[in-house]
Amino acid sequence: MTQHWMIDVLLDLSQCAREHQYAALGEVLDDAILVAAAEFRQRGAVSDTGEGDDAQAGDRAGDAEGHSLR
């Protein structure tokens, strides 16, 4: 089962927090994205197709940094 949806949700929340001037909350959510990506990699999260989600999780973690609204 894929877990990448969790990173998508955290990314959306982080962006929303920054848009509403909750910078500290946005930073905490960005940290949560990195923790989630690391845990997915550590557990070797596997999707229904048999491919690892770690690359997707890493990509989404990078997206969070690239979309910083500071």
pLDDT digits (tens, 9 = 90+) for 16-37: 999 999 999 999 999 999 999 9
Query: What pLDDT shows up at residue 45?
Result: 60
Residue 11 vs residue 66, higher pLDDT: 11
State how far the alpha carbon of 28 is from the alpha carbons of 40, 46, 62, 65, 67, in Å.
18, 26, 15, 12, 15
pTM above 0.75, yes or no: no
pLDDT tens, 38-49?
Answer: 999 998 865 444
Q: How confident is the model at residue 61 (pLDDT cuts 50, 70, 90)?
A: low
- Report CA dihedral (36, 39, 44, 45) to the nearest 10 degrees: -30
